[in-house]
Amino acid sequence: MKVTLNRSAFLEELATVQRAISGKTTIPILTGVKIKLTENGLTLTGSNADISIETFLSVNDEKANMLIESTGSIVLQARFFNDIIRKLPEDTLTLELGDNQQVIISSGKALFNVNGLNADNYPHLPVINQDQAFKLPARILNKLVNETVFAVSLQENRPILTGLHMILKDNQLLAVATDSHRLSQRVISVEGENQDFDVVIPGKSLQELSKTIKDEEELVSISMMDNQVLFKTENTLFYSRLLEGNYPDTNRLIPTSFNTEITFSVPELLSAIDRASLLSHEGRNNIVRLKIDSENVMIYGNSPEIGNVEEKLSYLSVTGDPIEISFNPDYMKDSLKSFGPIDIKINFISPIRPFTLQPADGDVDFIQLITPVRTN
Amino acid sequence: MKVTLNRSAFLEELATVQRAISGKTTIPILTGVKIKLTENGLTLTGSNADISIETFLSVNDEKANMLIESTGSIVLQARFFNDIIRKLPEDTLTLELGDNQQVIISSGKALFNVNGLNADNYPHLPVINQDQAFKLPARILNKLVNETVFAVSLQENRPILTGLHMILKDNQLLAVATDSHRLSQRVISVEGENQDFDVVIPGKSLQELSKTIKDEEELVSISMMDNQVLFKTENTLFYSRLLEGNYPDTNRLIPTSFNTEITFSVPELLSAIDRASLLSHEGRNNIVRLKIDSENVMIYGNSPEIGNVEEKLSYLSVTGDPIEISFNPDYMKDSLKSFGPIDIKINFISPIRPFTLQPADGDVDFIQLITPVRTN
């Protein structure tokens, strides 16, 4: 195995597969990056218990400027390898497999001799039938993930809630996440002849996915089998395990009739909540209080030690009953951020029932739920 | 006490005094910032066991746009206060002292009520006679500090070595720091009629000082008394305690005759040392090896587990005996960084004697010493 190529192009591939590599794995070879050189180009692989990422750099890629002298494969310690490549003196580097699984990395006058591991011992990635792939532009997939994944549970006591529930049925793609205190659900219409599915994908995997697929113009092919999902773009394969078990029926949680409706501009509400939460974070309960009456809409935050804050909120419209309701401002902030700088409506039933947040533009099928905190 | 002023101008002052405020103090009032309003302007004070910083914002400062309605003083929790000011909605804010040491902070429609502490209980800063002040441009003071302070000891077993030794004698200002493994000494000539001094200033204080005095065009007045030093600019007072005890005589440590001299360009040597240290950091000893012989100048780094690196170094000139010497690459990196992108000469006596680094330009009185690591 011997190849000479552009350092920046190589570093970019390395950074991608490194997302899947953890220093804490119990399988030593998985702390490494697998490098495989064929006549067609260079394949890099990184993997951990949850996800695996494989990238391909083609010999025809102009910016890689690749000269392949001989093929082969090896596994190198990811952490050092990345540091070494990053600090090499020239724009070009040469990788050469020598004796005893040693790799010679050279660039300018710098010469590294690094111990590798036999690539034959690297685990095989799952084989997934890609005939029935469901295709989605990266831009739409990333948006769907970012609108919902923040609401997955971070607690392992109900593992199924650490995942995003994704259902495709009759070309309606639904994504929903809940940690049982709040919920975010987004539905989009898709085109083409697609086979229905119903899976739960770990939230962490999807967060890595949306960092991995940065080119939003790409088309992502999504293929599934029993316990794995594959997201594929032109040069990247992203595998994630699926979560097993039944996801709770979230549909019944979403209320449909309300007593109060108020419309806000998200950036204005967000900065007011942010201010109110400065003091609530120091209080025992971390709650802020919203009060809607016939005269004003007010937000209150309080910390017995530090002091208190109140602010008269700007809103676009309000209808229905007066209400006074307390909630965790961090849930509200997460929710508002996921909407982006739009107008939203918030609907309340009572101070003890979950309230909903939705885009004011009724054509967008996107709803969030936050459970209030009962106070005396 | 009531004042309305520009938020950014106020935040800048707050950030400066906050450098002296620690959340970990055993004196509760020192977790606060003292605010004092007179007819002339606003004074802020922050303090900890080592340093105190006082800033003054004049009522005549145009960008502060200050309107003073009544004078007074209060101490507010620094951490919250800063967060609150930073997140206020408008460009202008009003501070007003109400009943029970409560301060009302208002901006736009946001209204904070924050508990304060009586400013009479805030410790007094030292009174220092400023008649004999020694004056130095901030640019020169900061450079002197940055060229030497990295070499102070971080270990508390010899407290005196955690300070920078500064001596003014016959208008020669000498600064020297050593942690007993390496040493950095800089001498500059100053002008005017100055009284001699010989003090040891905590390294940490000086690092904060050079972050505090950012305007390099300012003139710094330095005044001392038994156990305190004051650095004063137009609107900022920076106090530091002095270290007590005798600083060791470092002059005798600096060798004057050598057997090998080599000249390098700092940026080239630094990047090669950086590469060699990638592997040495994983080794048991963290050493790299430099080998100068009649043919080549080579650097070697090694980690039994990961591999090894070698690089033929570019140099400007070399004279004297061949030598092979091992040293801690981190000391070398710190040293090289402090020189900046110039040419330096390194002089060796033998593999077991400290070697010196100096600017190749002999007019600059700046010398560093690194003790090698003995290997078998």
- Quick: pLDDT tens for A306-340: 899 999 999 999 999 999 999 999 999 999 999 99
> Is A107:A92 a contact under the CB 8 Å cutoff?
yes
Cβ distance A110 to B311 less than 8 Å, yes or no, reads yes
pLDDT at B149: 98
pLDDT tens profile B286-333: 999 999 998 999 999 999 888 999 999 999 999 999 999 999 999 999
- Burial degree of A217 (CB within 10 A; 0-12, 13-18, 19+): exposed
Selected for mutation to probe chain B from A74, A87, A302, A315 (highest B CB count within 10 Å) is A87
Q: How far is A74 from chain B, CA to nearest CA, in Å?
A: 14
Q: Which residues of A touch B307 (CB under 8 A)?
A: 102, 112-115
pLDDT at A364: 92
Angstrom distance (rounded) from CA A57 to CA A76: 18
Of B115, B282, B309, the CB nearest to A307: B115
Q: What is the mean pLDDT of residues A260-267?
A: 98
* Chain B positions with Cβ closer than 8 Å to A: 77, 80, 83-84, 87-89, 102, 109-115, 271-272, 274-275, 278-279, 282, 305-314
DSSP bridge pairs for A355: A370
Angstrom distance (rounded) from CA B258 to CA A34: 49
Angstrom distance (rounded) from CA B7 to CA B63: 10
> Is B263:B315 a contact under the CB 8 Å cutoff?
yes
Of B89, B271, B306, the CB nearest to A77: B306
pLDDT at A282: 81
pLDDT tens profile B210-229: 999 988 889 999 999 889 99
Q: Where are the strands (E) in B208-315, listed by range?
A: 219-225, 228-232, 236-241, 260-265, 288-292, 297-303, 307-312
Cβ distance B87 to A279 less than 8 Å, yes or no, reads no
Q: Which residues of B touch A98 (CB under 8 A)?
A: none
> Is B17:B44 a contact under the CB 8 Å cutoff?
yes
Cβ distance B275 to A114 less than 8 Å, yes or no, reads no
Cβ distance B80 to A309 less than 8 Å, yes or no, reads no
What lies within 8 Å, CB to CB, of B229 at 6+ separation is B199, B201, B222, B223, B239, B240, B242
Cβ distance B110 to A84 less than 8 Å, yes or no, reads no
Angstrom distance (rounded) from CA B123 to CA B103: 21
pLDDT tens profile B158-169: 999 999 999 999
Q: What is the percentage of chain A residues whose pLDDT exceeds 90?
A: 89
Angstrom distance (rounded) from CA A129 to CA B313: 53
Q: Which residues of B touch A278 (CB under 8 A)?
A: 80, 83-84, 87
Terminal Cα distance for chain A, rounded:
72
Cβ distance B110 to A274 less than 8 Å, yes or no, reads no
Cβ distance A114 to B83 less than 8 Å, yes or no, reads no
Tokens of B291: 């080998």
Q: Which parts of B149-213 fold into alpha helices (H)? A: 203-212
Tokens of B24: 């970990």
Q: β-strand B297-303 against B288-292: which pairing, if any? A: antiparallel
Q: How far is B20 from chain A, CA to nearest CA, in Å?
A: 21
Q: Which parts of chain A fold into alpha helices (H)? A: 7-18, 78-87, 138-148, 203-212, 266-280, 329-339
**What type of residue is B129?**
N
- Residue A74: how many other CB atoms lie within 10 Å: 23
> Is A313:A297 a contact under the CB 8 Å cutoff?
yes
The dihedral sign for the CA sequence A311, A316, A322, A325: negative
Q: Which residues of B touch A274 (CB under 8 A)?
A: 87
Cβ distance A310 to B111 less than 8 Å, yes or no, reads yes
pLDDT tens profile B112-126: 999 999 999 999 999
DSSP letter assigned to residue A101: T
3-state secondary structure of B335: helix
DSSP bridge pairs for B345: B263, B358
- Residue B179: how many other CB atoms lie within 10 Å: 18
Length of chain A equals 376
> Is B315:B290 a contact under the CB 8 Å cutoff?
no
Of B114, B115, B311, the CB nearest to A109: B311
The DSSP line for B278-299 is HHHTTSSS--EEEEE-SS-EEE
Lowest mean pLDDT among A283-287, B58-62, B97-101, B271-275: A283-287
Give all domains of chain A, ordered by start, each with its CATH number.
2-121 (3.10.150.10), 134-251 (3.10.150.10), 254-370 (3.70.10.10)
| Band (A305; pLDDT cuts 50, 70, 90) | confident
Selected for mutation to probe chain A from B91, B117, B295, B309 (highest A CB count within 10 Å) is B309
pLDDT at A25: 83
B281 or A276: which leads in pLDDT = A276
The dihedral sign for the CA sequence A257, A263, A266, A270: negative
| Band (A216; pLDDT cuts 50, 70, 90) | confident
Buried b (16+ CB within 10 A) or exposed e, A224-258: beeebbbbbbebbbbbbbbbeeebeeeeeeeeeeb
Tokens of B341: 């992108």
DSSP bridge pairs for B327: B288
pLDDT tens profile A13-25: 999 999 999 988 8
Statement: residue A107 has pLDDT above 80: yes
Nearest to B320 by CA among B360, B264, B261: B261
Instruction: Give me the half-sphere count of Cα atoms (radius 13 Å) on the Cβ side of residue B178.
Output: 20
Q: How far is A274 from chain B, CA to nearest CA, in Å?
A: 8
Statement: residue B90 has pLDDT above 80: yes
Of A80, A89, A307, the CB nearest to B112: A307
Cβ distance A113 to B274 less than 8 Å, yes or no, reads no
Cβ distance A274 to B307 less than 8 Å, yes or no, reads no
Q: How far is B118 from chain A, CA to nearest CA, in Å?
A: 15
- What is the edge-to-edge ordering of all strands in the sheet holding B172-178? B197-202, B163-169, B172-178, B182-189, B366-370, B355-359, B343-348, B260-265, B317-320
Q: What is the percentage of chain B residues whose pLDDT exceeds 90?
A: 89
| Band (A152; pLDDT cuts 50, 70, 90) | very high
